[in-house]
A and B are shown apart, each in its own frame.
Chain A
Amino acid sequence: MDALLLSRLQFAVTTYFHFLFVPLTLGLSIIVAIMETLYVKRGDHDYLRMTKFWGKILIINFIVGVATGLTLEFQFGTNWSRYSQYVGDIFGSLLAIEATTAFFMESVFIAVWVFGWKKLSPRLHATIIWLVAGASTFSAFWILVANSWMQHPVGYVIRNGRAELTDFFAVVTQSYSILTFLHATAAAYILSGFFVMGVSAYHLLKKQHVNIFTQSFRIALSFTLIASIFAVVEGHMHGADLAEKQPAKLAALESVWETQSYSPLYLIAIPNLQNDGNLVEFGRIPGVMSLLAHHSPSATVTGLKDFPKELRPPVLPVFLAFRLMVGMGVLFMLLMIYGWFRRDKLESSPTFLKIMFYSIPLPYLVCLAGWTVTEVGRQPWIVYGLMKTSDAVSPIATSQVGLSLIAFIITYTLIGITAFMVIAKAVRQGPAPGEKEDL
Protein backbone atom coordinates (compact mmCIF):
# COMPACT_ATOMS: atom_id res chain seq x y z
CA MET A 1 0.00 0.00 0.00
CA ASP A 2 1.30 3.41 -0.90
CA ALA A 3 -0.12 6.93 -0.94
CA LEU A 4 -1.16 6.48 -4.59
CA LEU A 5 -3.24 3.37 -4.07
CA LEU A 6 -4.75 4.69 -0.84
CA SER A 7 -5.58 8.02 -2.46
CA ARG A 8 -7.28 6.23 -5.33
CA LEU A 9 -9.28 4.09 -2.91
CA GLN A 10 -10.20 7.16 -0.92
CA PHE A 11 -11.33 9.01 -4.02
CA ALA A 12 -13.40 6.01 -5.08
CA VAL A 13 -15.03 5.65 -1.66
CA THR A 14 -15.83 9.34 -1.28
CA THR A 15 -17.04 9.85 -4.84
CA TYR A 16 -19.20 6.75 -4.97
CA PHE A 17 -20.72 7.67 -1.63
CA HIS A 18 -21.35 11.26 -2.71
CA PHE A 19 -23.01 10.01 -5.86
CA LEU A 20 -25.48 7.93 -3.88
CA PHE A 21 -27.13 11.24 -3.02
CA VAL A 22 -26.53 13.55 -5.97
CA PRO A 23 -28.79 11.89 -8.56
CA LEU A 24 -31.83 11.81 -6.29
CA THR A 25 -31.39 15.53 -5.60
CA LEU A 26 -31.19 16.25 -9.33
CA GLY A 27 -34.35 14.40 -10.25
CA LEU A 28 -36.47 14.65 -7.13
CA SER A 29 -36.13 18.43 -7.05
CA ILE A 30 -37.77 18.54 -10.47
CA ILE A 31 -40.48 16.06 -9.50
CA VAL A 32 -41.25 18.07 -6.34
CA ALA A 33 -41.28 21.25 -8.43
CA ILE A 34 -43.83 19.67 -10.79
CA MET A 35 -45.98 18.66 -7.82
CA GLU A 36 -45.89 22.09 -6.24
CA THR A 37 -46.68 23.74 -9.56
CA LEU A 38 -49.71 21.45 -9.91
CA TYR A 39 -50.76 22.54 -6.42
CA VAL A 40 -50.47 26.22 -7.34
CA LYS A 41 -52.35 25.72 -10.62
CA ARG A 42 -55.12 23.43 -9.35
CA GLY A 43 -55.30 24.27 -5.65
CA ASP A 44 -55.82 20.61 -4.73
CA HIS A 45 -54.42 20.03 -1.26
CA ASP A 46 -53.32 16.51 -2.04
CA TYR A 47 -50.68 18.03 -4.30
CA LEU A 48 -49.48 20.11 -1.38
CA ARG A 49 -49.28 17.06 0.88
CA MET A 50 -47.40 15.28 -1.88
CA THR A 51 -45.00 18.19 -2.24
CA LYS A 52 -44.29 18.20 1.48
CA PHE A 53 -43.85 14.45 1.73
CA TRP A 54 -41.35 14.21 -1.14
CA GLY A 55 -39.82 17.55 -0.14
CA LYS A 56 -38.85 16.18 3.26
CA ILE A 57 -37.01 13.26 1.67
CA LEU A 58 -35.39 15.63 -0.82
CA ILE A 59 -34.02 17.79 1.99
CA ILE A 60 -32.49 14.93 3.98
CA ASN A 61 -30.92 13.59 0.83
CA PHE A 62 -29.75 17.04 -0.25
CA ILE A 63 -27.94 17.80 3.00
CA VAL A 64 -26.02 14.52 3.00
CA GLY A 65 -25.06 15.28 -0.61
CA VAL A 66 -23.81 18.73 0.37
CA ALA A 67 -21.91 17.44 3.38
CA THR A 68 -20.10 14.80 1.36
CA GLY A 69 -19.53 17.04 -1.66
CA LEU A 70 -17.15 19.29 0.21
CA THR A 71 -14.76 16.33 0.47
CA LEU A 72 -14.28 16.19 -3.26
CA GLU A 73 -13.20 19.78 -3.69
CA PHE A 74 -10.73 19.49 -0.82
CA GLN A 75 -9.39 16.20 -2.09
CA PHE A 76 -7.97 17.48 -5.36
CA GLY A 77 -5.61 19.62 -3.30
CA THR A 78 -4.93 17.25 -0.43
CA ASN A 79 -4.43 14.01 -2.36
CA TRP A 80 -3.89 15.05 -5.97
CA SER A 81 -1.72 18.13 -5.65
CA ARG A 82 0.45 17.30 -8.69
CA TYR A 83 -2.71 17.02 -10.73
CA SER A 84 -4.09 20.26 -9.30
CA GLN A 85 -0.90 22.09 -10.10
CA TYR A 86 -0.79 20.72 -13.63
CA VAL A 87 -4.39 21.34 -14.68
CA GLY A 88 -5.68 23.88 -12.15
CA ASP A 89 -5.68 26.59 -14.80
CA ILE A 90 -8.59 24.79 -16.48
CA PHE A 91 -10.02 22.27 -14.05
CA GLY A 92 -9.86 24.59 -11.03
CA SER A 93 -11.71 27.35 -12.83
CA LEU A 94 -14.53 24.99 -13.76
CA LEU A 95 -14.96 24.03 -10.12
CA ALA A 96 -14.88 27.66 -9.06
CA ILE A 97 -17.48 28.55 -11.69
CA GLU A 98 -19.67 25.72 -10.42
CA ALA A 99 -19.45 27.02 -6.86
CA THR A 100 -20.20 30.63 -7.72
CA THR A 101 -22.83 30.24 -10.43
CA ALA A 102 -24.73 27.15 -9.30
CA PHE A 103 -23.96 25.83 -5.86
CA PHE A 104 -24.66 29.16 -4.17
CA MET A 105 -28.12 29.32 -5.71
CA GLU A 106 -28.93 25.75 -4.85
CA SER A 107 -27.92 26.05 -1.21
CA VAL A 108 -29.33 29.49 -0.54
CA PHE A 109 -32.71 28.80 -2.12
CA ILE A 110 -33.30 25.34 -0.72
CA ALA A 111 -33.24 26.88 2.75
CA VAL A 112 -35.75 29.51 1.65
CA TRP A 113 -37.96 26.71 0.40
CA VAL A 114 -37.73 24.78 3.68
CA PHE A 115 -38.22 27.74 5.98
CA GLY A 116 -40.32 30.00 3.80
CA TRP A 117 -43.73 28.28 3.66
CA LYS A 118 -45.39 31.06 5.62
CA LYS A 119 -43.28 33.92 4.37
CA LEU A 120 -43.77 33.54 0.62
CA SER A 121 -46.80 33.44 -1.63
CA PRO A 122 -47.52 29.93 -2.99
CA ARG A 123 -46.47 31.04 -6.46
CA LEU A 124 -43.13 32.44 -5.29
CA HIS A 125 -42.58 29.39 -3.10
CA ALA A 126 -43.05 27.12 -6.11
CA THR A 127 -40.70 29.30 -8.15
CA ILE A 128 -38.03 28.81 -5.48
CA ILE A 129 -38.03 25.03 -5.87
CA TRP A 130 -37.69 25.43 -9.64
CA LEU A 131 -34.64 27.62 -8.97
CA VAL A 132 -33.20 24.90 -6.73
CA ALA A 133 -33.84 22.26 -9.40
CA GLY A 134 -32.37 24.43 -12.14
CA ALA A 135 -29.30 25.29 -10.06
CA SER A 136 -28.71 21.61 -9.20
CA THR A 137 -28.75 20.67 -12.85
CA PHE A 138 -26.51 23.61 -13.71
CA SER A 139 -24.12 22.53 -10.98
CA ALA A 140 -24.04 19.02 -12.45
CA PHE A 141 -23.29 20.56 -15.84
CA TRP A 142 -20.09 22.29 -14.65
CA ILE A 143 -18.86 19.27 -12.74
CA LEU A 144 -19.41 17.07 -15.77
CA VAL A 145 -17.66 19.58 -18.04
CA ALA A 146 -14.70 19.34 -15.68
CA ASN A 147 -14.84 15.55 -15.71
CA SER A 148 -15.16 15.50 -19.51
CA TRP A 149 -12.02 17.57 -19.79
CA MET A 150 -10.18 14.79 -17.92
CA GLN A 151 -11.62 12.32 -20.43
CA HIS A 152 -10.93 14.37 -23.52
CA PRO A 153 -8.80 17.48 -22.92
CA VAL A 154 -9.39 20.30 -25.41
CA GLY A 155 -8.82 24.07 -25.59
CA TYR A 156 -5.42 24.02 -23.88
CA VAL A 157 -1.73 24.30 -24.58
CA ILE A 158 1.18 22.88 -22.56
CA ARG A 159 3.11 25.91 -21.35
CA ASN A 160 5.17 26.68 -18.24
CA GLY A 161 5.14 22.97 -17.43
CA ARG A 162 1.37 22.75 -17.14
CA ALA A 163 -1.85 22.76 -19.13
CA GLU A 164 -3.00 26.32 -19.76
CA LEU A 165 -6.37 27.38 -21.06
CA THR A 166 -6.53 28.72 -24.62
CA ASP A 167 -10.18 28.25 -25.54
CA PHE A 168 -12.74 28.29 -22.77
CA PHE A 169 -15.63 27.90 -25.20
CA ALA A 170 -14.14 24.70 -26.62
CA VAL A 171 -13.86 23.21 -23.11
CA VAL A 172 -17.47 23.96 -22.28
CA THR A 173 -19.11 23.03 -25.56
CA GLN A 174 -17.15 20.00 -26.72
CA SER A 175 -19.43 17.11 -27.61
CA TYR A 176 -17.92 14.96 -24.85
CA SER A 177 -19.14 17.45 -22.23
CA ILE A 178 -22.60 17.74 -23.67
CA LEU A 179 -23.04 13.98 -24.11
CA THR A 180 -21.76 13.24 -20.61
CA PHE A 181 -24.03 15.86 -19.13
CA LEU A 182 -27.10 14.52 -20.93
CA HIS A 183 -26.22 10.98 -20.02
CA ALA A 184 -25.61 11.61 -16.33
CA THR A 185 -28.71 13.76 -15.90
CA ALA A 186 -30.88 11.20 -17.69
CA ALA A 187 -29.49 8.55 -15.34
CA ALA A 188 -30.20 10.78 -12.35
CA TYR A 189 -33.78 11.35 -13.52
CA ILE A 190 -34.31 7.60 -13.97
CA LEU A 191 -32.96 6.95 -10.48
CA SER A 192 -35.25 9.58 -9.00
CA GLY A 193 -38.26 8.36 -10.93
CA PHE A 194 -37.65 4.80 -9.79
CA PHE A 195 -37.29 6.02 -6.24
CA VAL A 196 -40.61 7.86 -6.36
CA MET A 197 -42.39 4.96 -8.08
CA GLY A 198 -40.88 2.41 -5.70
CA VAL A 199 -41.90 4.32 -2.59
CA SER A 200 -45.35 4.99 -4.07
CA ALA A 201 -45.70 1.30 -4.85
CA TYR A 202 -44.93 0.51 -1.21
CA HIS A 203 -47.89 2.59 -0.06
CA LEU A 204 -50.18 1.48 -2.89
CA LEU A 205 -49.51 -2.16 -2.03
CA LYS A 206 -50.57 -1.34 1.52
CA LYS A 207 -53.60 0.46 0.07
CA GLN A 208 -52.89 3.67 2.00
CA HIS A 209 -52.88 7.30 0.80
CA VAL A 210 -54.04 5.91 -2.52
CA ASN A 211 -54.75 9.18 -4.30
CA ILE A 212 -51.47 10.82 -3.35
CA PHE A 213 -49.32 7.87 -4.34
CA THR A 214 -51.23 7.09 -7.52
CA GLN A 215 -50.63 10.68 -8.61
CA SER A 216 -46.98 10.57 -7.49
CA PHE A 217 -46.46 7.32 -9.36
CA ARG A 218 -47.97 8.69 -12.55
CA ILE A 219 -45.98 11.92 -12.47
CA ALA A 220 -42.78 9.92 -11.96
CA LEU A 221 -43.76 7.43 -14.63
CA SER A 222 -44.11 9.99 -17.43
CA PHE A 223 -40.92 11.67 -16.31
CA THR A 224 -38.95 8.42 -16.19
CA LEU A 225 -40.37 7.02 -19.41
CA ILE A 226 -38.91 9.97 -21.30
CA ALA A 227 -35.61 9.84 -19.40
CA SER A 228 -35.16 6.08 -19.89
CA ILE A 229 -35.76 6.14 -23.65
CA PHE A 230 -33.53 9.19 -23.93
CA ALA A 231 -30.74 7.52 -21.91
CA VAL A 232 -30.62 4.50 -24.21
CA VAL A 233 -30.58 6.51 -27.45
CA GLU A 234 -28.16 9.07 -26.06
CA GLY A 235 -25.99 6.34 -24.56
CA HIS A 236 -25.48 4.87 -27.99
CA MET A 237 -24.38 8.27 -29.36
CA HIS A 238 -22.05 8.65 -26.40
CA GLY A 239 -20.48 5.29 -27.23
CA ALA A 240 -19.89 6.31 -30.83
CA ASP A 241 -18.26 9.56 -29.67
CA LEU A 242 -16.09 7.51 -27.32
CA ALA A 243 -14.87 5.37 -30.25
CA GLU A 244 -13.32 8.52 -31.76
CA LYS A 245 -11.99 10.07 -28.57
CA GLN A 246 -11.08 7.27 -26.17
CA PRO A 247 -10.46 4.19 -28.33
CA ALA A 248 -8.82 2.31 -25.45
CA LYS A 249 -11.88 2.82 -23.26
CA LEU A 250 -14.26 1.76 -26.00
CA ALA A 251 -12.20 -1.37 -26.63
CA ALA A 252 -12.28 -2.14 -22.91
CA LEU A 253 -16.05 -1.68 -22.71
CA GLU A 254 -16.51 -4.40 -25.31
CA SER A 255 -13.32 -6.34 -24.63
CA VAL A 256 -12.11 -5.91 -28.22
CA TRP A 257 -8.49 -7.06 -28.55
CA GLU A 258 -7.74 -7.19 -32.28
CA THR A 259 -7.80 -4.16 -34.54
CA GLN A 260 -9.82 -5.09 -37.61
CA SER A 261 -12.52 -4.07 -40.04
CA TYR A 262 -15.84 -5.93 -39.81
CA SER A 263 -15.07 -6.12 -36.08
CA PRO A 264 -17.27 -8.80 -34.50
CA LEU A 265 -19.48 -8.78 -31.45
CA TYR A 266 -19.42 -11.91 -29.27
CA LEU A 267 -22.64 -12.95 -27.62
CA ILE A 268 -20.59 -14.14 -24.67
CA ALA A 269 -17.09 -12.95 -23.90
CA ILE A 270 -15.12 -12.83 -20.68
CA PRO A 271 -11.85 -10.91 -20.53
CA ASN A 272 -9.00 -12.64 -18.72
CA LEU A 273 -7.27 -11.39 -15.59
CA GLN A 274 -3.90 -11.01 -17.32
CA ASN A 275 -5.48 -8.14 -19.25
CA ASP A 276 -4.26 -9.47 -22.61
CA GLY A 277 -7.18 -11.33 -24.21
CA ASN A 278 -10.50 -13.06 -23.71
CA LEU A 279 -10.85 -16.16 -21.57
CA VAL A 280 -14.08 -17.08 -23.34
CA GLU A 281 -15.37 -16.03 -26.73
CA PHE A 282 -18.62 -17.42 -28.06
CA GLY A 283 -21.20 -16.52 -30.66
CA ARG A 284 -19.25 -14.38 -33.10
CA ILE A 285 -21.33 -11.94 -35.20
CA PRO A 286 -19.03 -10.18 -37.69
CA GLY A 287 -19.31 -6.47 -38.29
CA VAL A 288 -21.63 -5.63 -35.40
CA MET A 289 -18.94 -3.97 -33.29
CA SER A 290 -17.92 -1.83 -36.26
CA LEU A 291 -21.55 -0.95 -36.80
CA LEU A 292 -22.08 0.04 -33.16
CA ALA A 293 -18.90 2.07 -32.88
CA HIS A 294 -18.69 3.69 -36.31
CA HIS A 295 -22.11 3.11 -37.90
CA SER A 296 -20.63 0.98 -40.68
CA PRO A 297 -20.01 -2.79 -40.64
CA SER A 298 -16.78 -2.43 -42.59
CA ALA A 299 -15.24 0.21 -40.28
CA THR A 300 -12.04 -0.57 -38.43
CA VAL A 301 -12.30 -0.79 -34.65
CA THR A 302 -9.10 -0.34 -32.66
CA GLY A 303 -8.36 -3.28 -30.38
CA LEU A 304 -6.58 -3.24 -27.03
CA LYS A 305 -3.56 -5.08 -28.42
CA ASP A 306 -2.71 -1.87 -30.26
CA PHE A 307 -2.02 -0.27 -26.90
CA PRO A 308 1.06 -1.21 -24.90
CA LYS A 309 0.04 -3.26 -21.89
CA GLU A 310 0.78 -0.47 -19.43
CA LEU A 311 -1.56 1.88 -21.29
CA ARG A 312 -4.59 -0.41 -21.19
CA PRO A 313 -7.34 0.09 -18.62
CA PRO A 314 -8.15 -2.95 -16.47
CA VAL A 315 -10.62 -4.55 -18.85
CA LEU A 316 -12.57 -6.93 -16.61
CA PRO A 317 -14.20 -4.39 -14.22
CA VAL A 318 -14.90 -1.94 -17.05
CA PHE A 319 -16.38 -4.66 -19.25
CA LEU A 320 -18.62 -6.01 -16.47
CA ALA A 321 -19.73 -2.58 -15.28
CA PHE A 322 -20.60 -1.65 -18.85
CA ARG A 323 -22.72 -4.78 -19.26
CA LEU A 324 -24.54 -4.07 -16.00
CA MET A 325 -25.20 -0.47 -17.05
CA VAL A 326 -26.45 -1.24 -20.56
CA GLY A 327 -28.46 -4.31 -19.56
CA MET A 328 -30.20 -2.47 -16.75
CA GLY A 329 -30.70 0.62 -18.86
CA VAL A 330 -32.60 -1.38 -21.46
CA LEU A 331 -34.56 -3.16 -18.74
CA PHE A 332 -35.57 0.19 -17.20
CA MET A 333 -36.83 1.38 -20.55
CA LEU A 334 -38.90 -1.77 -21.09
CA LEU A 335 -40.32 -1.55 -17.56
CA MET A 336 -41.35 2.04 -18.19
CA ILE A 337 -42.99 1.21 -21.50
CA TYR A 338 -44.90 -1.61 -19.81
CA GLY A 339 -45.79 0.73 -16.94
CA TRP A 340 -47.12 3.30 -19.37
CA PHE A 341 -49.83 0.82 -20.42
CA ARG A 342 -50.65 0.02 -16.78
CA ARG A 343 -50.81 3.66 -15.70
CA ASP A 344 -54.58 3.69 -15.21
CA LYS A 345 -54.67 0.26 -13.53
CA LEU A 346 -51.88 0.62 -10.98
CA GLU A 347 -53.91 -0.62 -8.05
CA SER A 348 -54.82 -3.81 -9.89
CA SER A 349 -51.19 -4.51 -10.85
CA PRO A 350 -49.64 -5.76 -7.60
CA THR A 351 -46.87 -7.67 -9.35
CA PHE A 352 -45.76 -4.61 -11.26
CA LEU A 353 -45.90 -2.55 -8.06
CA LYS A 354 -43.80 -5.14 -6.26
CA ILE A 355 -41.26 -5.14 -9.06
CA MET A 356 -41.07 -1.34 -8.87
CA PHE A 357 -40.60 -1.41 -5.11
CA TYR A 358 -37.77 -3.90 -5.26
CA SER A 359 -36.21 -2.00 -8.17
CA ILE A 360 -35.39 1.06 -6.05
CA PRO A 361 -31.72 0.06 -5.55
CA LEU A 362 -31.11 -0.91 -9.18
CA PRO A 363 -30.58 2.55 -10.68
CA TYR A 364 -28.19 3.31 -7.80
CA LEU A 365 -26.15 0.30 -8.85
CA VAL A 366 -26.29 1.41 -12.46
CA CYS A 367 -25.02 4.91 -11.59
CA LEU A 368 -22.05 3.43 -9.73
CA ALA A 369 -21.42 1.08 -12.65
CA GLY A 370 -21.56 4.08 -15.01
CA TRP A 371 -18.89 5.90 -13.04
CA THR A 372 -16.79 2.74 -12.97
CA VAL A 373 -16.95 2.62 -16.75
CA THR A 374 -16.02 6.30 -17.01
CA GLU A 375 -13.26 6.47 -14.42
CA VAL A 376 -11.68 3.01 -14.44
CA GLY A 377 -12.00 3.00 -18.23
CA ARG A 378 -9.81 6.10 -18.39
CA GLN A 379 -6.92 4.48 -16.51
CA PRO A 380 -3.95 4.58 -16.42
CA TRP A 381 -4.59 8.20 -17.26
CA ILE A 382 -5.97 10.85 -14.93
CA VAL A 383 -6.21 13.19 -17.91
CA TYR A 384 -6.53 11.01 -20.99
CA GLY A 385 -3.28 10.99 -22.96
CA LEU A 386 -1.85 13.87 -20.95
CA MET A 387 -1.13 12.86 -17.38
CA LYS A 388 -0.95 9.48 -15.68
CA THR A 389 -2.78 8.89 -12.42
CA SER A 390 0.49 7.72 -10.87
CA ASP A 391 2.09 11.11 -11.60
CA ALA A 392 -0.79 13.05 -10.07
CA VAL A 393 -0.70 12.06 -6.43
CA SER A 394 0.46 14.43 -3.67
CA PRO A 395 3.88 13.95 -2.09
CA ILE A 396 2.37 13.03 1.26
CA ALA A 397 2.93 10.41 3.92
CA THR A 398 1.14 7.10 3.40
CA SER A 399 0.08 7.04 7.05
CA GLN A 400 -1.89 10.28 6.66
CA VAL A 401 -3.87 8.91 3.75
CA GLY A 402 -4.36 5.56 5.46
CA LEU A 403 -5.82 7.25 8.52
CA SER A 404 -8.13 9.52 6.57
CA LEU A 405 -9.30 6.60 4.42
CA ILE A 406 -10.21 4.60 7.51
CA ALA A 407 -11.94 7.64 8.97
CA PHE A 408 -13.94 8.12 5.76
CA ILE A 409 -15.01 4.50 5.68
CA ILE A 410 -16.21 4.62 9.29
CA THR A 411 -17.89 8.04 9.09
CA TYR A 412 -19.56 7.41 5.76
CA THR A 413 -20.83 4.00 6.84
CA LEU A 414 -22.42 5.56 9.92
CA ILE A 415 -23.84 8.48 7.95
CA GLY A 416 -25.09 6.12 5.26
CA ILE A 417 -26.89 3.91 7.77
CA THR A 418 -28.40 6.89 9.59
CA ALA A 419 -29.51 8.56 6.37
CA PHE A 420 -31.10 5.33 5.20
CA MET A 421 -32.86 4.93 8.54
CA VAL A 422 -34.15 8.47 8.62
CA ILE A 423 -35.33 8.40 5.00
CA ALA A 424 -36.97 4.99 5.53
CA LYS A 425 -38.78 6.41 8.53
CA ALA A 426 -40.07 9.38 6.56
CA VAL A 427 -41.16 7.02 3.79
CA ARG A 428 -43.05 4.71 6.15
CA GLN A 429 -44.70 7.60 7.95
CA GLY A 430 -46.31 8.75 4.73
CA PRO A 431 -47.70 12.22 4.06
CA ALA A 432 -48.89 14.39 6.92
CA PRO A 433 -52.68 14.66 7.40
CA GLY A 434 -54.40 16.98 5.00
CA GLU A 435 -56.17 19.57 7.18
CA LYS A 436 -55.67 22.99 5.78
CA GLU A 437 -54.60 24.37 9.16
CA ASP A 438 -51.76 21.89 9.52
CA LEU A 439 -50.14 23.02 6.34
Chain B
Amino acid sequence: MCLAIPGKLIEISENPEGVRMGKANFGGIVKQVCLEYTPEVNIGDYVLVHVGFALSKVDEDVAAQTYQMLEEMEQLAELDDPEAPDESPASSGVS
Protein backbone atom coordinates (compact mmCIF):
# COMPACT_ATOMS: atom_id res chain seq x y z
CA MET B 1 0.00 0.00 0.00
CA CYS B 2 1.01 3.56 0.38
CA LEU B 3 1.66 5.12 -2.92
CA ALA B 4 4.17 7.87 -2.17
CA ILE B 5 6.13 9.75 -4.81
CA PRO B 6 9.22 11.95 -4.51
CA GLY B 7 8.87 15.53 -5.71
CA LYS B 8 11.07 18.62 -5.64
CA LEU B 9 9.88 21.43 -3.41
CA ILE B 10 9.58 24.67 -5.34
CA GLU B 11 7.51 26.84 -3.03
CA ILE B 12 6.67 27.14 0.66
CA SER B 13 3.78 29.18 2.03
CA GLU B 14 1.05 29.28 4.61
CA ASN B 15 -2.55 28.87 3.57
CA PRO B 16 -5.30 31.19 4.85
CA GLU B 17 -5.98 28.77 7.73
CA GLY B 18 -2.38 28.93 8.89
CA VAL B 19 -1.34 25.51 7.64
CA ARG B 20 2.20 25.18 6.24
CA MET B 21 1.83 24.29 2.57
CA GLY B 22 4.07 24.07 -0.44
CA LYS B 23 4.27 23.16 -4.07
CA ALA B 24 6.22 20.17 -5.28
CA ASN B 25 7.30 19.37 -8.79
CA PHE B 26 6.87 15.74 -9.87
CA GLY B 27 8.60 15.43 -13.23
CA GLY B 28 6.99 18.65 -14.46
CA ILE B 29 3.65 18.28 -12.70
CA VAL B 30 3.25 20.77 -9.91
CA LYS B 31 0.95 19.92 -7.03
CA GLN B 32 0.16 21.41 -3.66
CA VAL B 33 1.45 19.50 -0.66
CA CYS B 34 1.02 19.96 3.05
CA LEU B 35 4.37 20.49 4.78
CA GLU B 36 3.23 20.33 8.40
CA TYR B 37 5.07 17.05 8.92
CA THR B 38 8.35 18.19 7.39
CA PRO B 39 9.13 21.50 9.11
CA GLU B 40 12.81 21.14 8.26
CA VAL B 41 12.55 21.11 4.47
CA ASN B 42 13.63 23.94 2.24
CA ILE B 43 13.05 24.90 -1.34
CA GLY B 44 15.06 22.59 -3.56
CA ASP B 45 14.75 19.59 -1.26
CA TYR B 46 13.02 16.44 -2.44
CA VAL B 47 10.08 15.25 -0.36
CA LEU B 48 8.18 11.99 -0.34
CA VAL B 49 4.46 12.75 -0.79
CA HIS B 50 1.48 10.57 0.13
CA VAL B 51 -2.16 11.76 -0.18
CA GLY B 52 -0.98 15.34 -0.48
CA PHE B 53 1.32 15.27 2.58
CA ALA B 54 5.10 15.38 2.62
CA LEU B 55 6.04 12.53 4.97
CA SER B 56 9.80 12.72 4.75
CA LYS B 57 12.65 14.56 3.17
CA VAL B 58 14.60 12.46 0.69
CA ASP B 59 18.13 12.25 2.02
CA GLU B 60 20.06 12.89 -1.16
CA ASP B 61 23.46 12.01 0.26
CA VAL B 62 22.24 8.69 1.57
CA ALA B 63 20.48 8.03 -1.73
CA ALA B 64 23.66 8.72 -3.67
CA GLN B 65 25.76 6.53 -1.38
CA THR B 66 23.40 3.57 -1.40
CA TYR B 67 22.94 3.81 -5.15
CA GLN B 68 26.66 3.83 -5.66
CA MET B 69 26.94 0.71 -3.52
CA LEU B 70 24.45 -0.97 -5.80
CA GLU B 71 26.42 0.02 -8.86
CA GLU B 72 29.62 -1.25 -7.36
CA MET B 73 28.04 -4.47 -6.22
CA GLU B 74 27.41 -5.46 -9.78
CA GLN B 75 31.09 -5.72 -10.48
CA LEU B 76 31.57 -8.21 -7.66
CA ALA B 77 28.75 -10.35 -9.03
CA GLU B 78 30.39 -10.37 -12.42
CA LEU B 79 33.76 -11.34 -10.97
CA ASP B 80 32.33 -14.25 -9.03
CA ASP B 81 29.93 -15.46 -11.58
CA PRO B 82 31.12 -14.87 -15.11
CA GLU B 83 29.13 -17.82 -16.47
CA ALA B 84 25.39 -17.83 -16.99
CA PRO B 85 23.52 -18.89 -13.82
CA ASP B 86 22.83 -22.62 -13.33
CA GLU B 87 19.05 -22.15 -13.61
CA SER B 88 17.76 -20.83 -16.88
CA PRO B 89 16.04 -17.52 -16.28
CA ALA B 90 12.27 -17.66 -16.06
CA SER B 91 12.04 -14.85 -18.52
CA SER B 92 14.57 -12.66 -20.12
CA GLY B 93 13.02 -11.53 -23.33
CA VAL B 94 10.10 -13.50 -24.56
CA SER B 95 10.40 -14.56 -28.14
Question: Does B bind A?
Answer: no
A residues with a Cβ closer than 8 A to B are none
